[in-house]
């Protein structure tokens, strides 16, 4: 079925009063106005909070429509979906609150994107709703925030450059976080605690979380062993120490699904992993071991009830996050190194101009939603996609022209 849904709105931001929702709403109002070329609305369950949010946006948002819908009210969600071509959802943890909206979007043929990083939930949604999404034409694109747009589009960009330079894609790609400055969101931490909690109670889920192809379509597997950093390690390519990167678990899976959705464009034996650079020499090594230990302690403590409440007391609450000043000061710099089968090498860089978890995530999420609404055509059919496989170069253009990201080649050899 082709996708040419007629609707009152191009875009609805659902969960507009959440921490990320507020930043996203402000971004859309400042860059696209209200009642202009982009017809959009804000939605959520509290009329009072939505009105206050709208009032805070000033005169330019005077005409911004407000829709009421609770995340658990199936009828209200379906009514909201029927009014728009795309829904952007910021209501997490998605494993707890996300399914009814995905179900409503799929049933009504409405495109959808979110910023989940919960791999076990994505897998459930694909299993339950992909067949129906293919029928109704709904295009569902998870992971449109810091996890996993910089990684997913970073690999897409590197492979595009490799094809142009070497005439072939890279069989092995590694992403290294050179620097990421910015606070963690309460929502992100709540999602991480929920994953640890679910995994602690379910051995089958623990096995699934260890599988890099867990959200790939059936039959898409690589015989090549996937690298996965579990502890501190020295990286000869960059001459620095590495520690595991907490977002690596979701990003690697999204990149593998992107490869599958592009008919194994990166190759069937494609390998990919992510890690954090912690610096050179003894200090870098010490930092790498420190991060490894801290991550292990966080997930172990989050998995079991007696210590989980201690973690929950220490970390930011959902709805909490860094101040606007800290968001402005935040940034990130990611490095990618790719190697072709015959040993040619390309190094690329992706940067973002705000803190990863909020300022930059909000802009990426907004542009992903607009890209779905305005830039995709009937060749992208209904189903569960990834940012790179559904939005490709059109999203790259938006990210670089509007959302403060840069993509560049540093060297080829």
Q: What six digits make up the tokens of 412? A: 């080829």
3-state secondary structure 329-363: HCEEEEEEEEECCCCCEEEEEEEECCCHHHHHHHH
3-state helix, strand, coil in the chain (%, to 5): 45, 20, 30
Neighbouring CB atoms inside 10 A of 392's CB total: 20
In this prediction, residue 394 has a pLDDT band, given cuts at 50, 70 and 90, of very high
- 10 Å CB burial of residue 154 (0-12, 13-18, 19+) is buried
Q: What six digits make up the tokens of 166? A: 């070497």
CA 325, 327, 329, 334: dihedral to nearest 10 degrees?
180
Give the residue extent of every domain in the chain.
9-145+360-400, 149-355+403-412
The string of pLDDT tens digits covering residues 133-163 is 999 999 999 999 999 999 999 999 999 999 9
More confident residue, 188 or 304: 304
The string of pLDDT tens digits covering residues 347-371 is 999 999 998 888 999 999 999 999 9
Among 36-50, 70-84, 218-232, 266-280, the minimum mean pLDDT is found in 218-232
191 Ramachandran zone, left/alpha/beta (phi>0; psi -120 to 50): alpha
CATH architecture group of domain 9-145+360-400: 3-Layer(aba) Sandwich (3.40)
Handedness of CA 131, 138, 149, 20 (dihedral sign): negative
**Any idea what DSSP says for residue 61?**
G
The candidate with the shortest Cα–Cα distance to 257, out of 384, 150, 135, is: 384
Contact between 373 and 86 under an 8 Å Cβ cutoff? The reply is: yes
End-to-end alpha carbon distance in the chain: 45
pLDDT of amino acid 183: 64
For residue 404, the SS3 value is coil
For residue 412, the SS3 value is strand
Contact between 175 and 235 under an 8 Å Cβ cutoff? The reply is: no
């Amino acid at each position: 079925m082709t996708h040419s849904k007629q609707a009152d709105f191009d875009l609805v931001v659902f969960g507009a009063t959440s921490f990320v929702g507020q930043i996203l709403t402000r971004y859309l109002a400042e860059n696209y106005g209200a009642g202009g070329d982009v017809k959009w609305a804000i939605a959520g369950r509290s009329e009072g909070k939505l009105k206050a949010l709208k009032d805070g946006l000033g005169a330019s948002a005077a005409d911004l429509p407000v829709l009421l819908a609770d995340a658990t009210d199936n009828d209200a969600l379906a009514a909201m979906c029927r009014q728009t071509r795309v829904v952007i959802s910021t209501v997490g943890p998605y494993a707890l609150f996300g399914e009814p909206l995905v179900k409503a979007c799929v049933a009504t043929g409405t495109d959808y994107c979110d910023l989940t990083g919960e791999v076990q939930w994505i897998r459930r949604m694909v299993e339950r709703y992909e067949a129906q999404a293919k029928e109704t034409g709904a295009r569902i694109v998870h992971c449109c925030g810091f996890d996993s747009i910089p990684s997913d589009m970073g690999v897409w960009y590197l492979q595009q450059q490799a094809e142009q330079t070497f005439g072939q894609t890279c069989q092995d790609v590694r992403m290294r976080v050179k620097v990421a400055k910015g606070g963690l969101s309460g929502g992100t931490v709540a999602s991480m605690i929920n994953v640890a909690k679910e995994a602690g109670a379910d051995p089958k889920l623990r096995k699934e979380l260890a599988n890099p192809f867990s959200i790939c379509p059936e039959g898409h597997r690589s015989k090549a062993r996937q690298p996965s950093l579990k502890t501190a390690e020295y990286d000869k390519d960059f001459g620095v120490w590495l520690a595991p990167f907490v977002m690596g678990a979701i990003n690697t899976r999204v990149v593998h699904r992107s490869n599958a959705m592009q008919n194994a464009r990166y190759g069937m034996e494609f390998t990919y992993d992510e890690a954090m650079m912690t610096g050179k020499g003894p200090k870098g090594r010490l930092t790498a071991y420190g991060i490894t230990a801290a991550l292990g302690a966080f997930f172990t403590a989050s998995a079991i009830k007696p210590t989980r409440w201690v973690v929950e007391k220490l970390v930011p609450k959902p709805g909490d996050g860094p101040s606007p000043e800290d968001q402005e000061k935040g940034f990130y710099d990611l490095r990618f190194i790719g190697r072709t089968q015959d040993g040619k090498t390309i190094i690329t860089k992706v940067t973002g101009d705000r803190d990863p978890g909020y300022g930059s995530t909000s802009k990426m999420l907004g542009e992903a939603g607009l890209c779905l609404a305005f830039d995709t055509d009937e060749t992208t059919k209904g189903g569960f996609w990834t940012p790179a496989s559904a939005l490709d170069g059109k999203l790259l253009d938006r990210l670089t022209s509007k959302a403060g990201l840069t993509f560049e080649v540093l060297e080829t050899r």
